[in-house]
Structure formats: structure tokens, C-alpha cells
Amino acid sequence: MALNACDDGDMVSQSFNFNSEVSASDCGTTSTINTVFKINDNEALILKIDGPQTFVTNEGQEYTVDLFPFRNQTTQTGAPKIYKISAANRVIYRVFNGPVTSAYFCQEIPPISPSVVSESSTLSNGDGRIEIATSKIVDDYASVAAITYQHLVTLKDITFTDGTTNTTYETYNYGIYEKKSGVNFSFAPNNPVSNCTENPGRLFRIADSNSGNIDTKENLNEVLEFKISDDELATLDLGDNTNLYLDDTKQLIYRIYSSDVSNTFLCTGVDANLIPTPETYETFVANNGTPIDGSIPATGTISIRRVRNAIPAPPAPQIQTYSYDIMMSNVTFKDQSGNTTFKQGTILFGKYTTDR
């Protein structure tokens, strides 16, 4: 891809040397979450997407593309996310007077050296757009945090200008930007265990990756659901750890949501107080457990300790309750396609209290 740039009055030829071997990078901070760049020695191709946009389809339907273009949500074939080129959403090509590194883009105040020799950026008028198609890399991962997504970025009908010369391209393949899942299976001990009174037999825990709802950070919510009935729990011996295995009736399910979830939403599928309505990004179901077989360790094990709690003193209600300390180990989760897995060694599901 070639551009003409003006240098001290003389016309020189500049070229984009960013082939498929040149990977896109970021700074890994919330302040630069929507900026990625490709570097090739003394050249850089910078992609900035700084704002949500609303579009109207050819059928007259309105839809909005959000602030986070690189969400870990796969797109349908032929239906990428689209961001219109504007003052907020732009592509910049820079040539420096020496080799440049990611440190240049990731400092609040860029260093003095290297300095920019020439710069071209996209014009905000016209039909230029940035298209992003997202897919998940199929693999057996050691953890959910390691799951990687590929974002294929294509520039369409864009015009670059250096202030003197305009150059238009119908299609330019910016390339692939890879990003980790952004979640860590982070169910801390203080996350309570909840249940569904409307739909008994479902226990779950919620982990909020952005509890302060910082605007520049994705608000992903993780949910771990354990399906087991109170009837089965009530049959367990008191005081001892009972070992069970995950199966079709004792399922463990892990989900990633796009935004805040609530007990009401998880139990009924509806909560008018949640704006926006959460989308399910990923669903992973734990494999059924297997007992130890010689030197092969057991998998998908459940350990539950049932305890009879002391009846509280008056004036508190005189109700007998039972607590269940629940733990799982050596669990493999599989996504809905069945092609991607991740493992969790020990899962401290938590303490569930009920009147049985």
C-alpha cells in the first residue's frame, strides 16, 4: 500500500510495510483500551476507536455499535462490527526518524525520540469504515484467562491524507489483533452463594470484573452455576465430607455476561433494573466426573460437608438451618461447540445455607 507524502517540498514515496507477519499490539491499560497499533521498524499504523455509534441498516433498522470494539464475542460470518470513520474513529500512519517501539505509544507523554517525520490520517467524511470480525481460537486451555480471541480488522473505502495528497483504498487488510478473555474465574471467598426460589435446584455465584463500573473498562460478569436439588443435599450425612461426581443431574456451568447480572435475572431471565440487558458471551459446561482409575486421578469431583447449624436464640425466628460447604476439583469445562476447553484445579464454590 503506497502513499505520497510531502517532505520539505520534495515529493517522496511512502509505503505501508505491514504484512500478515506484523502483529497488532496494545498497551494493556484501560485508558488505551480502544487503541491498537502495528509497528514495522520506523513505521506505525495506529487504529483508534473512541466512541459508540448508531447506524441504520438498508432495511431501516437502527443498531448501535458499543464503545468496546474488541469484545470477546464472536461475530457471525459476513456480519462484522462496523465503525464509521470519523474524528473519533480513525487510522493514522506515521513514519519516524528511527526505530519505534510500543513504549512510544504506551506512555502518557511520548518520548522526544524518535520523532515523527511524516503523518497521514483518514478523512472523516465519506463512507470509510472499520470492520471487525471476531472469532475464538480453538484449543485446550490451561485456564479461562488464557482463552484467546482473534479480531480481523479490515478497512473499507478509506481515504488517507497528509494535508497535501489524498489516497483512497476500497479495501485494506489491517490484519489480526489477538486478545485474551479478560476474565480470571475470580470467585472470591466473599462472593455469596445464591439460589433460585422460583426455580429450585440452582445454586450460583456472581463475580463482577468491574464492580465500580469504570467507563473505560468492560463490565464483564462471571457466573458459576451448580445444579443440585435440596432433596439430594438433605440425604447427605451430617459432619462428614461426601464425595460425588459431576453428572447430568449435578451439573456445573460457567457463563460470561456482557454486563451486570442479578439474582432476579439469573433465576427468571428478566430484570427491568438492568440496563443494558446482559448478553451471554460464553457458556461452558463441566464434563461429567470420573473416579480414580489406577494412576489416572479422578476428575469432576464434588466434596460437600453438611452441618446442622445452631438454632438462634429468641427473639430471632426459631428455625433449624443446615449449611453445605461445597468444593469441586479437577474440572474440565467445554464450550457449546465442544471444541474449546479450559481446566480448573480446585473450585471453592462456597457455603450454601437452607432449612433442609
What is the pLDDT averaged over residues 262-282?
A: 92
- Distance of CA 177 to CAs 71, 149, 174, 210, 308, Å? 12, 8, 9, 23, 53
Instruction: Give the gyration radius of the chain's Cα atoms.
Output: 26
Please name which of 148, 153, 147 lies closest in space to residue 176, comparing C-alpha atoms.
Answer: 153
Pairing of strands 35-40, 24-25: antiparallel
Whole-number pLDDT of residue 131: 93
In angstroms, how far is CA 231 from the centroid of its own chain?
36
Q: What are the domain boundaries of the chain?
A: 2-180, 194-354
Region of residue 82 (phi > 0: left; psi between -120 and 50: alpha; otherwise: beta): beta
Q: What are phi and psi for residue 31, nearest 5 degrees?
A: -75, -20
- pLDDT tens, residue by residue, 91-107: 999 999 999 998 888 87
Residue 58 banded pLDDT, cuts 50, 70, 90: low
Those residues whose C-beta lies under 8 Å from the C-beta of residue 275, and which sit 6 or more positions away, are none
Residue 304 banded pLDDT, cuts 50, 70, 90: very high
323 burial type by CB count under 10 A (0-12 exposed, 13-18 middle, 19+ buried) = middle
Q: Detail the DSSP E strand segments found in 181-260.
A: 194-195, 202-208, 221-227, 241-245, 251-257
Region of residue 314 (phi > 0: left; psi between -120 and 50: alpha; otherwise: beta): beta
- pLDDT tens, residue by residue, 209-265: 888 777 777 889 999 999 999 899 999 999 989 999 999 999 999 999 989 999 999
Whole-number pLDDT of residue 11: 30
Q: What's the rounded Cα separation, in Å, for the pair 95 and 44?
A: 7
3-state secondary structure of 266: helix
Name the strand (E) or helix (H) holding 233.
helix 230-233
Q: What's the rounded Cα separation, in Å, for the pair 213 and 217?
A: 8
Instruction: Specify the pTM.
Output: 0.86
Q: What are phi and psi for residue 257, nearest 5 degrees?
A: -110, 155
Please name which of 274, 268, 73, 280 lies closest in space to residue 181, comparing C-alpha atoms.
Answer: 73
- pLDDT tens, residue by residue, 181-191: 888 998 877 77
Those residues whose C-beta lies under 8 Å from the C-beta of residue 111, and which sit 6 or more positions away, are 103, 104
Q: What's the rounded Cα separation, in Å, for the pair 19 and 266?
A: 45
Mean pLDDT of the chain: 86
**Could you please report the per-residue DSSP string of 97-153?**
SS---HHHHSSSS--SSS-EEEEEEE-SSSS-EEEEEEEEPP-EESSGGG-EEEEEE
pLDDT of 66 > 70? The answer is no
> Hey, what's the cell of 352?
450454601
Which of 118-127, 173-182, 209-218 reaches the highest mean pLDDT? 173-182
Whole-number pLDDT of residue 331: 97
Name the strand (E) or helix (H) holding 38.
strand 35-40
3-state secondary structure of 95: strand
